[in-house]
Amino acid sequence: MDGIKYAVVTDKSLRLVSKNQYTFNVESGSTRTEIKSWVELLFGVKVIAMNSHRLPGKRRRMGHTMHYRRMIITLQPGYSIPSLINLNKKTE
């Protein structure tokens, strides 16, 4: 379960929650099937689609930070992740 770093909370990701899509930053070496099984096991939901893109590492004075992947995960209708829905309601 170390592959999922954290949930992304931005304006776009909060808009996607209304479409039953959730955004997570994950380790760049994780596969799509691993991420799908981790999300289904951790949150008890069914995943129907996953989109991903790699974000570059940021430059620092002494090198750079590691790059990571951002996954947009679409859940089946009727499923949701409650902790992220509560964040969306607070911002409205």
User: pLDDT tens across 53-64, in order?
Assistant: 888 778 888 877
Supply the mean pLDDT for the chain.
84
pLDDT of residue 21: 94
> What does the pLDDT look like over 1-31, one tens digit per residue?
577 888 888 899 889 998 999 999 998 888 8
**Total structural domains within the chain:** 1
Structural domain including 52 reads: 4-91
List the beta bridge partners of residue 49.
Answer: 74
Residue 29, domain CATH = 3.30.70.330
Within its chain, how far is the Cα of 32 from the centroid? Answer: 12
Nearest CA among 5, 28, 24, 31 for reference residue 81: 24
Q: Answer yes or no: are the C-beta atoms of 24 and 17 closer than 8 Å.
A: no
Q: pTM for the complete prediction?
A: 0.79
Range 19-38 burial, b when 16+ CB lie within 10 A, else e: ebbbbbebeeebeeeebbeb
Mean pLDDT of 43-69: 85
More confidently predicted of 28 and 72: 72
What lies within 8 Å, CB to CB, of 43 at 6+ separation is: 81
pLDDT of residue 62: 82
